[in-house]
Amino acid sequence: MPSLVQPLVSKPSGSLKGEITPPGDKSISHRAVMLGGIAEGVTAVRGLLEGEDVLRTVGALRKLGAKIERTVDGVWHITGVGLDGLKASKNVLDMGNSGTAARLLIGLLSGRSFSTSFTGDASLCKRPMNRVIDPLSQMGATFKSTDGKLPLSVTGSASPTPLTYRLPVASAQVKSAVLLAGLSAKGVTTVIETTPTRDHSENMLRHFGAKVMVEKRDNTEAISIEGGHALKARDIVVPGDISSAAFPMVAALLRPGSNITLNHVGMNPRRAGLIDTLIEMGAKISLQNKRTEGGEAVADLVVRGTGELKGVTVPAERAASMIDEYPLLAAAAACAQGTTRMLGLHELRVKESDRLSRIAEGLKRCGVTLEVTGDDLTVQGTGQAPAGGGFIETAMDHRIAMSFLVLGSATVAPIRIDDGAFITTSFPGFVGIMNGLGMKIDFLKV
């Protein structure tokens, strides 16, 4: 992880103009590296997110025996070891700040008959791992952990037990961990979810030749995988990350006269909740050149800023499709006319930080009226520029950092954040890209 603190300040800007391709989708990048690592043959990945989180996954797969190389043209070539070819790492796998890398790799290694130790940075070591430990233990893996958090060790089962598991919380990471463990089980492993979550794992498993079935059952969805089948290497083009595209998108919407184009953005419908919400708020966002690549919906987005968003109510059932975007939506709501209610945000409390608390504290420091009631957040916008001027403690959370920098482009006074170093986990080059569109973000002396 970045070791040097990078305080930043975001100053009010004019309209944003330009055309960019956002960094590669982080969720898809993680999965491409993992599945390429256990496939038979060589997988070529174009557009891989080269942020700190994904590079942790690359490093882990290398330690586990996969050969991974990047050529000068930016293509990553992964020589897989086959379904049963991973080897025990001589070193602890340090997953840095990445909950996705940690939980999915724990699932993948739960079907391997050797022991692996995991750790992470201070933020990741506070995040709950019992949500994957519980189902994976039922499949035969054994764990050593003092409090259900990292650091922990997992000893996988040589013959995992197929499982039917009903998700207690909506979590694509838990679903994926169980499905990855199910790759090595002799039989069918099924995950039942009552709230649909992002389905990148299912899409990519199919892309590599796994036998994945999805069945609607009453008000639930059952995702099943038949274990024991080899995966075959497949080339992958990673679309731009909609969660990263969201930052220039909202920044443009908050500055009247803005006109930007975001190319090759992944438009998986289970990730598009923010776009749906912004359009309800009156945002001018058009989707062009819609297509499907590697099982994922992709489009180019044209965003025009009018500075005339209005408050809406965001239902709890939409949370799974935009859980990472609530800090940014809160920034937009602070600039909108009227009241925005965001319901059912309990999962924000167990992200890289307690994001609900970070959002509320940061907005208050910027003169925004709000209320947190249980797991619901209500933001009162006036349709005018918020006061700004706040100093934001990011708690090592990249999305909190980027969201308040975006807000700073639309406030009366600049907004400072204590540390932007962790932005590289998901959005390398963020400051340069945003300034290239017209924002005014500067580095401050420590």
Q: Which residues are catalytic?
A: 324
Q: Which helix (H) or strand (E) holds 55?
A: helix 52-63
| DSSP per-residue string spanning 198-236 | --HHHHHHHHTT-EEEEEEETTEEEEEEE-SPPPB---E
The residues, ordered by sequence, that sit 6+ positions from 2 with a Cβ below 8 Å of its Cβ are: 52, 421, 422, 424
Q: Which residues contact 218 (CB under 8 A, 6 or more apart)?
A: none
Task: Give the list of residues 6+ apart from residue 378 with CB closer than 8 angstroms, or none.
Answer: 339, 340, 341, 342, 370, 371, 372
How far apart are the C-alpha atoms of 423 and 407, rounded to whole Å?
16
Angle at 303 between CA 8 and CA 250, to 5 degrees: 35
Kindly tell me the burial class for residue 348, based on how many C-beta atoms sit within 10 Å of its own C-beta (0-12, 13-18, 19 or more): buried
How do beta strands 415-417 and 8-11 pair?
A: antiparallel
Instruction: Provide φ and ψ at 347, rounded to 5°.
Output: -70, -20
Query: In Å, what is the CA distance from 95 to each residue of 92, 165, 264, 280?
Result: 9, 26, 28, 37
Report the b/e string of 18-55 with b at 16+ CB within 10 A: eebbbbbbbbbbbbbbbbbbbbbeebebebbbbbbbbb
- 341: which 2 tokens? 């209610």
**CB under 8 Å to 32, separation ≥6 — which residues?**
43, 45, 48, 78, 204, 236, 238
CA neighbor of 33 nearest in space, from 228, 201, 264: 201
